[in-house]
Structures are given as C-alpha cells and as structure tokens.
Amino acid sequence: MKTTLERVFSTLNKVELKSEKIELGLVDDFEAEFTKANKLVTSAYNEQFKIESAIQEMLNKYDAAGKSYLKANARYQEIEQASKDLGVEVSGKIKASKKAISEAFKEIDSASRELLKAKKMKFV
C-alpha cells in the first residue's frame, strides 16, 4: 500500500500534467486565432488596395472621356460655324450628338465627384 505522501505526490503530478496540457492547448488556440486574424486583415488590406486602384482607374477613364468629348464639342462648333457660313443646316444626327455631349459631361461630372468622395474614404 502507498503512503499518504506518495498518494499526494501522485495526485499532484497528474494535476500538473493536466494543467500543462490545458495551457498548451490554449496557446495553440491563441496562435491559430491570431494567425487567422492576421490573414483576414491582410486580405482586407489587399481588397482595399483593389478598390482604391479601381477608383483611380475609373477616374482616369472618365477624365479621358471628358477630354475626348471636349474635342468632339470643338469639332461640333467648327461644323456649326461652317454650316452658318455656307447657309445650310447642321444635320439632325450631329445636333443630337451635341445634346448627348452635354448629357455626358453632366454624368461624368457627377460620377467623378462621387468617386473622389469614395477615394477620400478610408476603408480599413
């Protein structure tokens, strides 16, 4: 039969081993969650970068479109002046395009303002 002291030591050893096992499990769980959180933040940051890049790309395209519409509008003014000089009417198709240019300028301006607001936002 074991002495009282041997029984106490054997019980303490079992408890300490269980405690260490639990602590190791907690450390593993912590490290797993910490790693997962880091990966998610990195993924979010990458998505933010994609959004910012897409916004800048859209702004660049609207800017290019606006410049092209300005050139088209200048050509329209030349056509209109030449038509007056010749005493002929500007064709309906060309007049309709002039109206479309005005509408496009409004749409580009509105969309660009919204994109600039979004660009100033911080997503993360």
Q: List Cβ neighbours of 108 (8 Å cut-off, separation of 6 or more).
A: 62, 65, 66, 69
Rounded distance between C-alpha atoms, residue 100 and residue 88, angstroms: 22
60-95: per-residue pLDDT in tens?
A: 999 999 999 999 999 999 999 999 999 999 999 998
Instruction: Return the residue matching tokens 């010749």.
Output: 86
Fill in the DSSP letter of residue 87: T
- What pLDDT does residue 5 have? 58
107-119: per-residue pLDDT in tens?
A: 999 999 999 998 8
- What pLDDT does residue 124 have? 42
pTM above 0.75, yes or no: no
4-52: per-residue pLDDT in tens?
A: 656 665 665 554 555 556 677 888 899 999 999 999 999 998 988 899 8
Rounded distance between C-alpha atoms, residue 79 and residue 29, angstroms: 74
